[in-house]
Amino acid sequence: MIQPVAELAAMVDRDSCLVHSDATQAVGKIPLDMARLEIDALSFSAHKLRGPQGVGALIVNRKPKNVLISGGYQESKRRGGTENVAGIVGLGKTAQVARLEMEQKKHHLEQLRDVFENRLASIQGSVVFGQQAPRLPNTTYFALPYYHGETLLMELDRAGFALSSGSACHSAVTAPSHVLTAMGVEDSLALNAIRVSFGMENSMEDVEMLIMKLQELVTSLPAVIRQAAV
Distance CA 46, CA 9 (A): 25
Q: At what angle do helices 204-219 and 85-120 cross, to 10 degrees?
A: 50
Identify whether the C-beta of residue 146 lies closer than 8 Å to the C-beta of residue 125: yes
Check if the beta carbon of residue 111 is closer than 8 Å to that of residue 140. no
Is 17 in the active site? no
CB 189 within 8 A of CB 127: yes
Distance, in Å, from the CA atom of 95 to the CA atom of 192, rounded to the nearest integer, reads 35
Choose the catalytic residue: 11, 169, 224, 230: 169
Helix/strand number for the chain, H first, E second: 8, 6
**Cβ proximity of 139 and 113 under 8 Å:** yes
Contact residues for 33 (Cβ-Cβ < 8 A; gap 6+): none
Residue environment code for 91-102, b if the CB has 16+ CB neighbours within 10 A, otherwise e: beebbeebeeee
Answer for the pair 27, 49: CB distance below 8 angstroms, yes or no. Answer: yes
Decide if 43 contacts 58 (C-beta within 8 A): yes
Task: List residues with catalytic annotation.
Answer: 169
